[in-house]
Amino acid sequence: MLSENCFPTFFNSVLCNQQETGCIFDNFSDRAHGVCRSETLSLRVLRNRGDPVCEDWVVEQIEVCWH
């Protein structure tokens, strides 16, 4: 979850190793897909340097560690 002055404020992701079978279980296909692992990702977000009344959005690169 990022602060309120960023967009988007929330990221959701799961990365899986396709050679493994224990991460995501799909009830529709009755199959598991991969093993979860941590990874650091570089993401571009918008950050409001202004305020809610006078917005000043800039593009910023951040590092996010997914667990």
Tell me, what's the pLDDT at 2? Answer: 74
Q: Quick one: pLDDT at residue 50?
A: 93
Report the alpha-carbon angle 26-36-15, nearest 5: 80
CB 17, CB 10: distance < 8 Å: no
What does pTM read for this prediction?
Answer: 0.50
User: Cα 21 from chain centroid?
Assistant: 22
Q: Write out pLDDT tens, residues 4-33.
A: 877 777 766 666 666 665 566 677 777 766
Residues forming beta bridges with residue 63, ordered by sequence position: 42
**Which residues have a Cβ under 8 Å from the Cβ of 61 and sit 6 or more positions away?**
42, 43, 44
| Pairing between β-strand 24-26 and β-strand 6-7 as defined by DSSP bridges | unpaired
The whole-number pLDDT of residue 57 equals 94
